Structure 1
């Protein structure tokens, strides 16, 4: 698929990435939930009847707090860099919309500045980067860059040199398992790969190589601790695919902090310790693709390719009764399906993986692997196309402008509301989890949906 073919696919099959509905939903949540700041941020929208389709808010120190401000800034990026992509009503001008959205973005980002010194979490990259990176890049706001650098150094405080890794969680507690001793245990989760971008970004802006060196050491360690080689025999091998090793991932690795030796592979959010949790696989695809862009280390590129191929293989071998929606991942590829009429999926996993595959396609095209680049670009679009067809909430929203120029949003059909963009997300369906919840809209699923559209525009496909 060349660039012109990709553009055709977007125009024909992915127009919902850029509709007024996407913009209106983000704007409405920004206006209605703003009174909860600085203490609470949107996390998920229940799909259960009687829930009203409203965002459930989560305490500000939870790891997801940066994604909604990031979504607002991603839409603002469209207004600044790609104004032609915004489908606004004729009575609303681009400049009018941009000015009002900028005010909301700054308001939602403000509480994040107070979090950049947190050393109690490895998720500081998820908290800081989605909004503040764009604030720096779009407007040159030095306050945001300074916050990114402080956050990177806060994350670096969790680096254990003897283990060559960054501690993810201090402890692990589920209903059937506890790891509390930090002297002999170091819990590292695959999600951590996507927080390394914070350290690379800060290193490049400060010329502090130590931040990048720690990030690279962490990525190297996870190649051994989290990636599991998968030997797949294909009956119908595609003409073009990655021919190196394919990998699944574990969610949690317990590492000896003194020696770096792998002690256990576990899960906290997947079905079982040895199963393939879909979102963990997606974090790995995206994280290693980003690490390659920052380092040009071929090991990371090959890891991401092998992870992406295995993710695609698991999608395409999904049982036939799980279609339509084949490319909307099951929440865990190995979890049993007890009720074929109520299959638990995770649309956010698909969105994360699709973004990773787009980055892969750019990296591969950069040194002449055009056919493999096309494969991953086409696969990413296929995932997003199927997700939009299957999981995009049919309860849409529209923009309205009052006589005083104030822009707001309302349900397209009065009383028919769902504040999230996508449905069928799964935050945590592990039966031993302290909070088990599935089948909902997820703030990070929506963030990566909007990000995907912006990536297509930056690639010149839209």
Structure 2
């Protein structure tokens, strides 16, 4: 009888273990998070053999969706692999990271996008940091030159997109700058340190100062898109592209702002940027609509009076429940670990505690995928762009990237 019961007990143990949330104690949370990444990404590598296809998300039918070289998310997959190598020191992850990084080289000459920070700093930036390969340094410098070519001394910003109609066709965006662009400034700060040329640093600071002036509202929420007159530098419109309404606060946009201004303070030691980053973080953390598990709604003002979406919003479809954006939480968690380092006293402790709470939620069975699910991405329940009816409640490669980065920053904070 006992011998017959052993397989049943063993099966229960295996199933229970597979579906048990990761322990939230520091070292174990970190180690188990990377263990899960190894499990999922090992399966991903079995399916991915073309190094010019970069895993991005899941299609509506549940199949893997890749992205191409010039898409803004192309560098995250290589970055994920570099973070996995950084933690494990295993050659297999380094080899995979190198394979997907090296196919991105042509982007160093891409002057048609502001996203070179995402595309090249997350891939080649990590590659150079971990290998010190001088070839990667050269590629990074050229990438910074290409990014700097989009800077205007009139607007004192880097143009995000070339002239285009707004996503809903109601406005001509002559010189649009989006809050996401704060994330790309890190490449420019790095370039000044690598070359000694202060031009990159000055461009980054000018862009940050202008963004601070024109993107941030009095309550420290943020606009997504600011449209400038490229001849005068005057602000023409403040709108949204991925948020609920022009005057609402898109959760990931606020996340980009928190992370971006924290990084700018690190590079400049200008307390204006630190104070702004703290105010931006406080808006996010103290918002009455932030759920108890700290994973935000995709927009803080969705369905609220005074906020009118100018797109085909299906309230019945997206209100029960309102979609969360785990990618925004991953970005904020990573940012808060760094912001905590720059803060003092109770504020320092609070930011770290909030970062850990977000990371713990992301590491729970609600948001962290088990093997053979979620198209082998780590994080579930992110939103790409609800106004475009695209990537809603799906995995996203950049949610994984900032989750892994948050784990590494947590590890550093615990030392």
Same fold (TM > 0.5): yes
- 1:437 and 2:410 equivalent? no
Q: In the superposition, relative to structure 1, how do residues 17 and 251 fare at CA in structure 2: closer, same or farther (>3 Å)?
A: farther
C-alpha separation between the residues in 2 aligned to 1:281 and 1:297?
20
1:417: how far off?
5.8
- 1:361 and 2:334 equivalent? no
Query: For residues 80-131 of structure 1, what are the alpha-carbon distances to aligned partners after superposition, in whole Å with 9 as ceiling and x for unaligned?
Result: 3xxxxxxxxxxxxxxxxx2222221111001111111110000000000112
Cross-structure match for 2:132: 140
C-alpha separation between the residues in 2 aligned to 1:175 and 1:222?
21
Of 49, 59, 62 in structure 2, the residue corresponding to residue 34 of structure 1 is: 49
C-alpha separation between the residues in 2 aligned to 1:271 and 1:393?
26
- 1:446 and 2:400 equivalent? yes
8 Å CA contact 2:326–2:362 kept in 1: the answer is yes
C-alpha separation between the residues in 1 aligned to 2:355 and 2:32?
13
1:60: how far off?
2.0
8 Å CA contact 1:269–1:428 kept in 2: the answer is yes
C-alpha separation between the residues in 1 aligned to 2:31 and 2:224?
32
Query: For residues 226-265 of structure 1, what are the alpha-carbon distances to aligned partners after superposition, in whole Å with 9 as ceiling and x for unaligned?
Result: 00011xxxxxxxxxxxxxxxx0000000112223222211
8 Å CA contact 1:45–1:419 kept in 2: the answer is no
Cross-structure match for 1:266: 239
Deviates more, 1:435-444 or 1:16-25: 16-25
- 1:187 and 2:176 equivalent? yes
1:318: how far off?
2.2
Q: In the superposition, relative to structure 1, how do residues 155 and 417 fare at CA in structure 2: closer, same or farther (>3 Å)?
A: closer
1:419: how far off?
1.3
Output aligned runs, 1:218-237, within 5 Å.
218-230=207-219
Cross-structure match for 1:257: 230
Query: For residues 384-441 of structure 1, what are the alpha-carbon distances to aligned partners after superposition, in whole Å with 9 as ceiling and x for unaligned?
Result: 21232264244x23xxxxxxxxxxxxx4xxxx564111111000011xx3x5331100
Of 271, 284, 300 in structure 1, the residue corresponding to residue 273 of structure 2 is: 300
Cross-structure match for 1:199: 188
Output aligned runs, 1:280-291, within 5 Å.
280-291=253-264
Cross-structure match for 1:45: 58
Query: For residues 287-319 of structure 1, what are the alpha-carbon distances to aligned partners after superposition, in whole Å with 9 as ceiling and x for unaligned?
Result: 0000010111111111110000000122xx128
Cross-structure match for 2:298: 331
Query: For residues 122-171 of structure 1, what are the alpha-carbon distances to aligned partners after superposition, in whole Å with 9 as ceiling and x for unaligned?
Result: 00000001121222122111111111111111010000001111100113
C-alpha separation between the residues in 2 aligned to 1:137 and 1:445?
21
Q: In the superposition, relative to structure 1, how do residues 178 and 170 fare at CA in structure 2: closer, same or farther (>3 Å)?
A: farther
- Segments of structure 2 that go 5 or more residues without pairing to the other structure are 1-22, 304-314
Of 94, 102, 116 in structure 2, the residue corresponding to residue 102 of structure 1 is: 94
8 Å CA contact 1:248–1:276 kept in 2: the answer is yes
Cross-structure match for 1:118: 110
C-alpha separation between the residues in 2 aligned to 1:72 and 1:276?
32
Cross-structure match for 2:64: 55
- 1:392 and 2:392 equivalent? no
1:340: how far off?
5.2
1:174: how far off?
4.7
Q: Secondary structure at the match of 2:110?
A: coil
C-alpha separation between the residues in 1 aligned to 2:143 and 2:272?
27
Supply the RMSD in Å over aligned alpha carbons. 2.1
- Segments of structure 1 that go 5 or more residues without pairing to the other structure are 1-6, 81-97, 231-246, 398-410
1:175: how far off?
5.4
C-alpha separation between the residues in 2 aligned to 1:225 and 1:359?
25
C-alpha separation between the residues in 2 aligned to 1:255 and 1:267?
14
C-alpha separation between the residues in 1 aligned to 2:329 and 2:355?
9
Q: Secondary structure at the match of 1:437?
A: strand
Cross-structure match for 1:240: none
Q: In the superposition, relative to structure 1, how do residues 263 and 17 fare at CA in structure 2: closer, same or farther (>3 Å)?
A: farther
Deviates more, 1:339-348 or 1:375-384: 339-348
Of 198, 205, 208 in structure 2, the residue corresponding to residue 216 of structure 1 is: 205
C-alpha separation between the residues in 2 aligned to 1:377 and 1:203?
30
Higher relative contact order (CA 8 A, sep 6+): 1
1:458: how far off?
2.4
Q: How many residues align?
A: 381
Query: For residues 44-100 of structure 1, what are the alpha-carbon distances to aligned partners after superposition, in whole Å with 9 as ceiling and x for unaligned?
Result: 125x6xx34x421122211000001000001111123xxxxxxxxxxxxxxxxx222
C-alpha separation between the residues in 2 aligned to 1:436 and 1:429?
6
Q: Secondary structure at the match of 1:249?
A: coil
8 Å CA contact 1:63–1:126 kept in 2: the answer is yes
- Taking structure 1 as the reference length, the TM-score comes to 0.78
- Taking structure 2 as the reference length, the TM-score comes to 0.86
C-alpha separation between the residues in 2 aligned to 1:133 and 1:422?
23
- 1:162 and 2:175 equivalent? no
Q: In the superposition, relative to structure 1, how do residues 390 and 303 fare at CA in structure 2: closer, same or farther (>3 Å)?
A: farther
8 Å CA contact 1:162–1:257 kept in 2: the answer is yes
Q: In the superposition, relative to structure 1, how do residues 258 and 168 fare at CA in structure 2: closer, same or farther (>3 Å)?
A: same
Cross-structure match for 2:383: 426
